[in-house]
């Protein structure tokens, strides 16, 4: 979904501003007209690189667990005090930390009469749209304490998963970097000795030795230019992915072919749907809300199409079967839930199964990553060995 900024005048002719998520400009404009808003200006909101890096730095300062700890503490406090008092206490304890400004903004907004969900939305770099939606529903249903505790558990689980994935990559990355460092040393110290020896003897270096030697020299002489080119290429690729919707859609579709990424998306989807349906939201409206909060464009399109199909009488299970690579076990549970009216319970079962699949994949991931890292390092070492041994074997053909 795209984000749009709009300006309008209220009944007292005072300019007001707001943001809206919609699929395109026409949909956003129609939605505002439906809400009775007389639009003065409507523009698509784009995240500047400056704001992107500022948000990235803020997230790094807070740490990956901050939002889960925040909701965990808030959930405990709401059992014995009001939301305003809880936020004020959290703000005091956060004095001098990176989270102080965020908590101060939340406290001031709530004390000023704003809804907690709206206050969270002003810090969308930290609190995702599905978190904001959950808090909004919790405020309406009066289940704020329960929802904050559930959010804490969900965010902790996501953080643990991402941390385990990163941890599995450390060993192969270290091995690969060690092999690269060894290659640089050999290319710049050992191979030049063979070059001078062969040149003085009127011979030619073997192809693999010559290729590594001249390639190493080229990299050494143009290291700054190559590093700059790599940086610009990565930045350009990121900008294209961020700004060109077709590219992002294609990449997001490929992501869902990776088992662990697909299971994480499904786990979040099943958990989100069960929460929304339990809160009294209809299935078609729940699908719409899940589509709005989905970051994966391909999944977003599936859920948007599913909403309209459900409104026409199709079952959710049939829609997923035809649009997403999904385990028959999930489909069976969803079909059972829709036929028996126990869809919420079946969605919870699907969420538990997805959790199990993620845990199993994470258990196997370090071993697979080690194999890949070792193979990559082995190929580099093998190339180095051949580049050194071949000149030695060919010395007998030289004229001394």
Q: Which of 114, 62, 158, 152 is nearest to 144 (CA)?
A: 152
Higher-confidence residue: 51 or 116? 116
Mean pLDDT lowest among 12-21, 153-162, 265-274: 12-21
The torsion angles phi and psi of 243, rounded to 5 degrees, stand at -100, -30
Determine contact, residues 129/290, Cβ cutoff 8 Å: no
Q: How confident is the model at residue 22 (pLDDT cuts 50, 70, 90)?
A: low
pLDDT at 46: 61
Give me the percent of the chain exceeding a pLDDT of 90. 5
Q: State pLDDT tens for residues 125-149.
A: 788 888 888 888 888 888 888 889 9
Mean pLDDT lowest among 116-120, 319-323, 393-397: 393-397
Residue given tokens 């077709």 in the structure block: 246
Higher-confidence residue: 390 or 262? 262
pLDDT at 232: 92
The torsion angles phi and psi of 19, rounded to 5 degrees, stand at -125, 155
pLDDT at 194: 72
Host H or E run for residue 16: strand 15-22
pLDDT average, residue stretch 49-54: 68
pLDDT at 397: 60
Number of CB atoms found within 10 A of residue 83's CB: 19
Q: Residues 298-307, buried b or exposed e (16+ Cβ, 10 A)?
A: bbbbbbbbbb
pLDDT at 228: 92
Number of CB atoms found within 10 A of residue 102's CB: 25
Strand order in the sheet with 39-44: 15-22, 2-9, 39-44
Pick the CATH number of 161-400 from 1.20.81.30, 1.10.260.40, 3.20.20.10, 1.10.3720.10: 1.20.81.30
* pLDDT of 355 higher than 80: yes
Identify how many contiguous H helices and E strands the chain contains and give both numbers.
18, 3
pLDDT at 233: 93
Q: Hey, what are 287's tokens?
A: 């699908």
DSSP category for residue 314? -
Q: Hey, what are 67's tokens?
A: 């939002």
* pLDDT of 23 higher than 80: no
State how far the alpha carbon of 87 is from the alpha carbons of 71, 113, 196, 275, in Å. Answer: 11, 14, 72, 25
Mean pLDDT lowest among 110-124, 168-182, 190-204: 190-204
pLDDT average, residue stretch 190-195: 76
The torsion angles phi and psi of 43, rounded to 5 degrees, stand at -135, 150
pLDDT average, residue stretch 364-373: 84
pLDDT at 398: 56
* pLDDT of 352 higher than 60: yes
Q: State pLDDT tens for residues 319-348.
A: 777 777 788 888 888 888 888 888 889 999
pLDDT at 177: 83
Quote the CA–CA distance of 174 and 366 in Å, as a whole number: 13
Mean pLDDT lowest among 42-51, 170-179, 325-334: 42-51
Give me the percent of the chain exceeding a pLDDT of 70. 89
Residue given tokens 């050999």 in the structure block: 186
Higher-confidence residue: 48 or 134? 134
Q: What's the whole-number average pLDDT of the chain? A: 82
* pLDDT of 17 higher than 80: no
Higher-confidence residue: 8 or 255? 255
pLDDT at 231: 92
Q: How confident is the model at residue 312 (pLDDT cuts 50, 70, 90)?
A: confident
* pLDDT of 31 higher than 60: yes
């Amino acid at each position: 979904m795209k984000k749009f900024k709009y300006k309008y005048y209220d009944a007292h002719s005072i300019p007001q501003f707001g943001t809206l998520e919609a699929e395109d400009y026409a949909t956003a404009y129609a939605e505002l007209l439906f809400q009775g808003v007389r639009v003065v200006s409507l523009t698509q909101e784009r995240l500047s690189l400056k704001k992107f890096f500022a948000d990235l730095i803020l997230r790094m300062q807070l740490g990956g667990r901050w939002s889960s700890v925040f909701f965990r503490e808030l959930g405990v406090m709401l059992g014995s005090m009001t939301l305003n008092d809880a936020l004020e206490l959290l703000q005091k304890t956060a004095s001098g930390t990176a989270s102080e400004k965020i908590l101060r903004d939340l406290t001031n907004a709530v004390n000023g009469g704003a809804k907690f969900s709206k206050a969270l939305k002003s810090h969308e770099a930290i609190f995702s749209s599905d978190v904001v939606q959950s808090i909004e529903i919790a405020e309406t249903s009066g289940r704020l304490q329960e929802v904050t505790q559930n959010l804490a558990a969900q965010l902790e689980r996501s953080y643990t998963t991402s941390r385990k994935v990163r941890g599995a990559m450390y060993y192969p990355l270290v091995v690969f970097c060690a092999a690269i460092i060894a290659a640089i040393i050999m290319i710049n110290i050992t191979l030049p000795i063979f070059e001078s020896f062969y040149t003085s003897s009127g011979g030619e270096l073997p192809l693999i030795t010559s290729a590594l030697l001249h390639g190493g020299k080229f990299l050494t002489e143009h290291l700054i230019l190559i590093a700059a080119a790599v940086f610009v290429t990565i930045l350009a690729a990121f900008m294209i992915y961020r700004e060109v919707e077709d590219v992002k859609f294609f990449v997001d579709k490929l992501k869902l072919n990776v088992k662990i990424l697909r299971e994480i998306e499904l786990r979040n989807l099943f958990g989100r749907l069960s929460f929304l349906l339990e809160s009294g939201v209809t299935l078609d409206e729940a699908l719409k809300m899940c589509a709005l909060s989905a970051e994966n464009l391909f999944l977003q399109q599936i859920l948007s199409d599913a909403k309209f199909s459900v409104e026409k009488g199709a079952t959710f299970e049939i829609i997923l079967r035809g649009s997403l690579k999904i385990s028959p076990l999930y489909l069976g549970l969803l079909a059972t839930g829709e036929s028996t009216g126990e869809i919420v319970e079946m969605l919870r079962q699907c969420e538990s199964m997805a959790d199990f699949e993620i845990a199993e994949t994470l258990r196997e991931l370090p071993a697979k990553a080690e194999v890949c890292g070792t193979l990559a390092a082995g190929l580099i070492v093998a190339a180095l060995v051949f580049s050194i041994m071949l000149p030695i074997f060919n010395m007998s053909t030289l004229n001394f």
